[in-house]
Amino acid sequence: MCMTIVLRVEGVSKQYRIYDRPGDRLKESLTRGRWKAHHEFWALKHVSFEVERGTTFGIVGPNGCGKSTLLQIIAGTLEPTHGSVFVEGRVAALLELGAGFNPEFTGIENVFMNGALMGFSRRETEALLPEIERFAEIGDFIRQPVKTYSSGMYVRLAFATAVSAAPQVLIVDEALAVGDAVFQHRCMRRIKELQQSGVTILFVSHEPATIRHLCTRAMLLSEGSRVADGSPTDVLNRYQKLMMEREEAYELSRPAAGDANLAEEFLAGREETRVPLRPGFRHGDGSAEVVSAELLDTTRHPVELVETGAPVQVRMRVQFHRDVENPVFGFLVRNRHGVHVYGTNTEQQYQTTFGHVARGEMVEVSFTFDCWLGTDTYTLSFAVHGSAIFGEGISYDWLDDVIFFRVTSETLIEGLVNLDASATTRRLKGWATSRSEGAARGRHG
């Protein structure tokens, strides 16, 4: 069956002129371009794609990759430098905070202005106003200037206005991230209703769980170019890999934290043939060194995006620089707020001692578990230290936040962990009748 194309973007590029000083713009205009005082920045570079009717199309990418610029061009609030955009049907856009509303106008005045831009008569907008007020739930503030609103109030009114217009194409640009939890759930329910009614949705978010939950297709932008387009899972894996590469490049550009704390007698002169680990903090006496740390999937490949509940393996390799008795190996998971979510070590797992390890020996340690964590970003820390059983809990090498990974889920879940609960329901026949009869007997004696 042939699907109808409602959005076609063909070779869209957007150039901005960047001036070092405000006066340079005037000088350039006075010389009619003979004196060039700017350098060019291309926010978008030859972006092309098509979206079929009823598709929820997710757009992901790092900050500054051109996502918001692309959505503004599709919404018609920005002109491309090159290329063209075709959109079929009424478009409603919830763009980045601050776009779309006049801060000097009241909320109601902005509703009427947006209605007129979407082709509604004043009478039609008046008919929509009660539903907009009910959904936004900002009370009498709707009659106050928008410049007095909090970011949450702004988004409430903007989203209510956009979805009440019965659009054929809805554009949402990360704006829902500032709303409270109750309003976010309300928005998600409304988006689901729009999906069921066949509305085409373009959705930008930095939250992989939301993209996987809502979208049927996704696209990855990087430095203004389209680098991936396909299923949300595949695109999010590419996105996570891109973000990890950027993090590694950043870490490589700065001195490694805590390396000076390692004993020089063990680390001086060793061959630097391995890719160096870049922890957030490192300490220890240098008796041993964590030389590799990995998070692996069931095929023993490194992974940065993990489906909640999926089996994973944490693996570390440790080089010993002196003879050690009963070393202990462990790891720790923290969430993005620094909360310790889970940690364990070989001493706790084995309930016994490891024994003697000679200088120069390499030890590999693996921990396997099912990753029943909630949807969030996490870090892995690794450590090798002396045995607490023998009162020798000395740190040989401790590496904080070596690995970053993200847990996602096809269904929305709340909290630090996923308890994988199952639900059952049953109707209690006659319960309501017997309850009402008992209440009646109580009233009459």
Percent with pLDDT over 90 in the chain: 29
Give the CATH class of 273-408: mainly beta
For the beta carbon of residue 297, count every other beta carbon within 10 angstroms: 16
Per residue in 402-445, pLDDT tens? 899 999 887 777 788 888 888 898 888 876 655 555 555 555 55
CB 239 within 8 A of CB 262: no
Looking at this protein, which amino acid is placed at residue 258? G
Query: SS3 sequence, the chain?
Result: CCCCEEEEEEEEEEEEEEECCHHHHHHHHHCCCCCCCEEEEEEEEEEEEEEECCCEEEEECCCCCCHHHHHHHHHCCCCCCEEEEEECCCEEEECCCCCCCCCCCEHHHHHHHHHHHCCCCHHHHHHHHHHHHHHHCCHHHHHCEHHHCCHHHHHHHHHHHHHHCCCCEEEEECHHHHCCHHHHHHHHHHHHHHHHCCCEEEEECCCHHHHHHHCCEEEEEECCEEEEEECHHHHHHHHHHHHHHHHHHHHHCCCCCCHHHCCHHHHCCCCCCCCCCCCCEEECCCCEEEEEEEEECCCCCECCEEECCCEEEEEEEEEECCCEECCEEEEEEEECCCCEEEEEEHHHHHCCCCCEECCCCEEEEEEEEECCECCEEEEEEEEEECCCCCCCCCEEEEEEEEEEEEEECCCCCCCCECCCCCCCCCCCCCHHHHHHHHHHHHHHC
In this predicted structure, the answer to whether residue 272 has a pLDDT above a threshold of 50 is: no
Q: What is the pLDDT at residue 270?
A: 41
* CATH number assigned to the domain covering 5-244: 3.40.50.300
Of 337 and 199, the one with more pLDDT: 199
Of 359, 259, 366, residue with least CA distance to 314: 366
Phi/psi for 241 (5° steps) reads -65, -40
Give me 376's structure tokens. Answer: 């969030």
Q: What is the pLDDT at residue 262?
A: 43
Q: What angle do CA 197, 198, 202 make, to 5 degrees?
A: 120
In this predicted structure, the answer to whether residue 213 has a pLDDT above a threshold of 70 is: yes
Q: Which of 45-49, 121-125, 252-256, 275-279 has the highest mean predicted lDDT (pLDDT)?
A: 45-49
Of 355, 370, 353, residue with least CA distance to 418: 370
Q: What is the pLDDT at residue 368?
A: 94
In this predicted structure, the answer to whether residue 366 has a pLDDT above a threshold of 90 is: yes
Domain span(s) for CATH 2.70.50.60 in the chain: 273-408
Per residue in 168-191, pLDDT tens? 899 888 766 655 667 777 788 888
Per residue in 314-346, pLDDT tens? 999 999 999 998 899 999 998 887 788 999 999
Mean pLDDT of the chain: 82
For the beta carbon of residue 83, count every other beta carbon within 10 angstroms: 16
Per residue in 153-174, pLDDT tens? 888 888 888 888 788 899 888 7
For the beta carbon of residue 261, count every other beta carbon within 10 angstroms: 15
